[in-house]
Structure 1
Amino acid sequence: MARRCDLSGVGPTTGNNVSHANNKTKRRFLPNLCNVTLHSDKLGQGFKFKVAASTLRSVDHMGGLDVFLSKADDGQLAPNALKLKRKLAKAS
């Protein structure tokens, strides 16, 4: 199971745990993923995505799922989000 956002492509990053004695060991920072249903205004139905909380704020700020997908880069989108983007392009 990939811990990756379906819309923005945000995934785990790496860093260090630093102890009081300044010993460093590798660790992973996982994104804050939420299972959400986002509604498309043009298609009139909801779609389930695994989205990072920061991306969810961006979707709301941009004005909804349709606008976000129209401006999103195809390389970062998950396959099901890419299909939805193509459906929206046909519906316009």
Structure 2
Amino acid sequence: MSRICELTGKGRQVGHNVSHANNKTKRTFLPNLQNVTLISDSLGRSIRLRVSTHGLRSVEHNGGLDNWLLKTRDEDLSLRARRLKREVRKASTQTAEAA
């Protein structure tokens, strides 16, 4: 299982451990990923995702998964998030037409 956020696409970064003697050795910085269940109001179901804590804070700040997906540009989303955004947009337009 890859260490990539399913919403933001945030992945690992590469850097150095630097010793007191200024020796540098390669290391990786992994994102803080959590398995979460987010509820989509327009789809009427819950969605299980592996999200970074930064991405989770962004979703909560924007008022939920649906609002966050609709506000975020497609270039900033992962493939699975783009598909989810398409479903949310389709469901929200259908409910708007029915009302």
Does the TM-score normalized on the shorter chain lie above 0.5? yes
- Deviation at 1:81? 2.1
Q: Which residue pairs with 2:17 in the alignment?
A: 17
The 5-angstrom pairing of residues 1-92 of structure 1 reads 1-92=1-92
SS in 1 for 2:90: helix
- Equivalents in 2 of 1:88, 1:69: separation in Å? 8
Unpaired runs of at least 5, structure 1: none
Q: Is the 8 A contact 2:7 2:80 kept in 1?
A: no
Q: Structure 2: which amino acid aligns with 1:70?
A: L
The structure richer in helix per residue is: 2
How many pairs align? 92
Q: Structure 2: which amino acid aligns with 1:67?
A: N
Q: RCO higher in 1 or 2 (8 Å CA, sep ≥ 6)? A: 1
- Equivalents in 2 of 1:60, 1:25: separation in Å? 37
Normalising by structure 1, what TM-score?
0.91
SS in 1 for 2:73: coil
- Deviation at 1:21? 1.1
- Equivalents in 1 of 2:80, 2:11: separation in Å? 17
SS in 2 for 1:75: helix
